[in-house]
A and B are shown apart, each in its own frame.
Chain A
Amino acid sequence: MNWLRRGGNEPLWKEEFSVRTADERYVTRRQLTKFLVLTSLGMFVGNIWILVRSIFYKAPIYPQQPVAQLGEIPVGGVKLFSYPTKEDHCIMIRTGEDEYVSYSQKCTHLSCAVYYSQGENRLECPCHNGFFSIKDGAVLQGPPSRPLPRIVLETRGEQLIAIEVKG
Chain B
Amino acid sequence: MFGYEFYVDPSRCIGCRSCLQACEECDTHRGKSMINFDFIERRESISSAAYVCWHCDEPTCAQVCPADAIKKGEDGIVFSALKPRCIACNNCVIACPFGIPKMMIPEQQMMKCDMCYDRTSVGKRPMCATVCPSQALAYVRPEEIANRREKPTNIFYFGNQKITTKVFMMAPAEREAIALDVVDYMWEENHELVATRG
Interface residues of A (CB under 8 A from B): 17, 19-22
A81 → B minimal CB distance (Å): 54
A21 surroundings in chain B (CB, below 8 A): 71-74
B68 at the interface (CB under 8 A from A): yes
A15 → B minimal CB distance (Å): 12
Within 8 A of A (CB), among B20-45: none
When C-beta atoms are compared, the residue in chain A nearest to B56 turns out to be: A19
CA of A20 to CA of B71 in the docked complex: distance in angstroms? 6
B50 at the interface (CB under 8 A from A): no
Within 8 A of A (CB), among B38-65: 58-59, 62-63
A17 surroundings in chain B (CB, below 8 A): 68
When C-beta atoms are compared, the residue in chain B nearest to A16 turns out to be: B68
Tell me the count of chain B residues lying within 8 A, CB to CB, of chain A: 10
Within 8 A of A (CB), among B108-149: none
B59 touches A22 (CB 8 A): no
- 1/0 per residue, CB under 8 A from A, across B86-117: the answer is 00000000000000000000000000000000
A19 touches B62 (CB 8 A): yes
B167 at the interface (CB under 8 A from A): no
CA of A64 to CA of B89 in the docked complex: distance in angstroms? 65
CA of A165 to CA of B141 in the docked complex: distance in angstroms? 87
B51 → A minimal CB distance (Å): 22
B74 touches A19 (CB 8 A): no
B59 touches A19 (CB 8 A): yes
When C-beta atoms are compared, the residue in chain B nearest to A19 turns out to be: B62
Chain B CB within 10 Å — which of A19, A21, A22 has the most?
A19
B74 touches A22 (CB 8 A): yes
A26 → B minimal CB distance (Å): 13
B70 surroundings in chain A (CB, below 8 A): 19
B72 touches A20 (CB 8 A): yes
A-B contact pairs, 5 of them (CB 8 A): A19-B62, A19-B71, A19-B72, A20-B74, A21-B72
CA of A22 to CA of B74 in the docked complex: distance in angstroms? 6
When C-beta atoms are compared, the residue in chain A nearest to B59 turns out to be: A19
Given contacts A19-B62, A20-B73, 12 further A-B contacts (CB under 8 A): A17-B68, A19-B58, A19-B59, A19-B63, A19-B70, A20-B72, A20-B74, A21-B71, A21-B72, A21-B74, A22-B73, A22-B74
A22 surroundings in chain B (CB, below 8 A): 73-74
B68 surroundings in chain A (CB, below 8 A): 17
B64 → A minimal CB distance (Å): 10
When C-beta atoms are compared, the residue in chain B nearest to A22 turns out to be: B74
B73 surroundings in chain A (CB, below 8 A): 20-22
A19 surroundings in chain B (CB, below 8 A): 58-59, 62-63, 70-72
